[in-house]
């Protein structure tokens, strides 16, 4: 089974540019860098803080990692039950070879549900394309525009409504980085958007924020356990991209040892007691921020905590999916304990770790609200956007 979404705006489909030199700052770069700053401003715009970022962000704080659209966003996604039947010729300097990428239960995905439909977006695809422009039915019956993003340098996933200033639009990869994180552009206004902050940081929509859509960063196997009917995003050439990008070997991770070494972003240095690539889930409330490292959460089994005025419970699934929920039941802050590998227990019910839903007892069918807005990500990336964060379970917490 394959599902093809209608083609998106052709306006975003410029040619794929060659990679630019990594680590260049400021104005060195490709056409379109200006974030729709096509007129000379009459005065320096007043800066203000939005989602922890002072906007507009000066050009000197942006780094160029690639040319605009060199990382080709997916604009015409195709879905199927798996990746069976996919075969492509991958060209290399020394020749070509046939690649037949496949998905396994251990492959990590971004999972999204809407109106009873479930979709999975594999990271082995998103590490090479970073942005997916999708349309996903809503509970109201509309064909809701959806933006699915992943930054391989930060390990961060974000899903949002694909609208700017109330209008449906298409997003692409600018090739720029802000605080080592993906910077997107929108085709409607050519504003620049920080992925982790979900905020326009330069251009006409500066200061505007994206409407977030809940998603889960997990394994395909775990996602299928709770969503057996899910479909998965298939790679190009089935799915269409900006500029019709050529085939890639989606079974090969393109960044070498980056996921485990101490490099950050384009090669910056990191100083700190916690390894920069430690997976954490972060929670903020009332000006406070706390990061919960995966290893410490797994050791504890379950963490009951309070961030600002927000009572939270943090746990991990058997396969290492970090989750954080607001631990209020019937309006009261409630302590949770571990029931088994897949469930927590509180207020006479068992609650599924993977999605926070009560599966039995007096609260069966109730789902706990998420306490986090940002997906689990590398610790250095969380700290870039939350410099005063506490780290649960470490000295000084």
Distance between CA 205 and CA 223 in Å, rounded?
A: 35
Q: Which of helix, strand or coil describes residue 117?
A: strand
Phi, psi of 390 (to 5 degrees): -85, 160
Name which of 312, 318, 371 is nearest 336 in CA terms: 312
pLDDT recorded at residue 37:
44
Instruction: Please state whether the peptide bond connecting residue 241 to the residue before it is cis, i.e. omega within 30 degrees of 0.
Output: no
The kind and range of the H/E element at 109 are: strand 108-114
CB within 8 A of 217, min separation 6: which ones?
Answer: 108, 109, 110, 111, 157, 321, 375, 376
Burial 163-180 (b: 16+ CB within 10 A, else e): bbeeebbbbbbbbbbbbb
- Tell the burial category of 114 from Cβ atoms under 10 Å away from its Cβ (0-12, 13-18, 19+): middle
Query: What pLDDT does residue 119 have?
Result: 98
pTM score, whole prediction: 0.88
pLDDT at 268: 79
Cα dihedral: 173, 176, 179, 184 (round 10): -30
pLDDT tens string for the chain (397 positions)? Answer: 455 543 333 333 333 333 233 333 443 344 345 554 444 444 556 889 999 899 999 999 999 999 999 999 999 999 999 999 988 887 776 777 788 889 999 999 999 999 889 999 999 999 999 999 999 887 777 779 999 999 999 999 999 999 999 999 999 999 999 999 999 999 999 999 999 999 999 999 999 999 999 999 999 999 999 999 999 999 998 999 998 777 788 999 999 999 999 999 987 778 888 999 999 999 999 999 999 999 999 999 999 999 999 999 999 999 999 999 999 999 999 999 999 999 999 999 999 999 999 999 999 999 999 999 999 999 999 999 999 999 999 865 5
As beta bridge partners, residue 315 has: 323
Domains annotated on the chain, with CATH: 2-241 (no CATH), 279-391 (2.102.10)
């Amino acid at each position: 089974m394959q599902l093809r979404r209608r083609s998106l705006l052709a306006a975003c489909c410029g040619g794929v540019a060659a990679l630019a030199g990594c680590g260049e700052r400021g104005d060195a770069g490709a056409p379109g860098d200006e974030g729709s700053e096509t007129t000379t401003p009459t005065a320096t715009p007043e800066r203000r803080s939005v989602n922890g970022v002072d906007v507009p962000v000066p050009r000197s704080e942006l780094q160029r990692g690639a040319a605009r659209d060199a990382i080709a966003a997916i604009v015409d996604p195709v879905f199927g039950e798996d990746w069976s039947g996919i075969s492509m010729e991958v060209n290399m300097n020394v020749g070509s070879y046939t690649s037949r990428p496949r998905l396994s239960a251990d492959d990590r995905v971004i999972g999204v549900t809407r109106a009873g439909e479930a979709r999975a977006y594999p990271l082995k695809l998103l590490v090479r394309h970073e942005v997916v422009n999708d349309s996903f039915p809503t509970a109201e019956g509309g064909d809701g525009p959806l933006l699915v993003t992943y930054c391989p340098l930060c390990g961060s996933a974000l899903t949002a409504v694909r609208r700017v200033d109330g209008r449906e639009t298409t997003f692409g990869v600018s090739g720029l980085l802000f605080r080592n994180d993906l910077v997107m552009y929108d085709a409607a206004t050519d504003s620049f958007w920080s992925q982790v902050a979900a905020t326009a940081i330069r251009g006409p929509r500066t200061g505007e924020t994206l409407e977030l859509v809940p998603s889960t960063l997990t394994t395909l196997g775990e996602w299928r356990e709770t969503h057996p009917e899910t479909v998965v995003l298939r790679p190009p050439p089935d799915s269409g991209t900006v500029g019709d990008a050529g085939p890639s070997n989606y079974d090969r991770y393109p960044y070498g040892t980056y996921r485990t070494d101490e490099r950050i972003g384009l090669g910056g240095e990191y100083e700190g007691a916690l390894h920069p690539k430690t997976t954490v889930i972060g929670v903020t409330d009332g000006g406070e921020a706390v990061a919960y490292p995966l290893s410490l959460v797994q050791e504890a089994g379950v963490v009951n905590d309070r961030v600002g005025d927000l009572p939270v419970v943090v746990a991990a699934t058997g396969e290492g999916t970090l989750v954080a929920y607001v631990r209020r039941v019937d309006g009261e802050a409630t302590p949770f304990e571990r029931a088994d590998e897949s469930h927590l227990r509180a207020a006479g019910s068992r609650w599924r770790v993977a999605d926070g839903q009560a599966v039995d007892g007096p609260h069966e069918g109730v789902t706990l609200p998420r306490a986090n807005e940002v997906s689990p990500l590398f610790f250095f990336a969380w700290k870039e956007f939350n410099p005063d964060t506490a780290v649960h379970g470490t000295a000084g917490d």
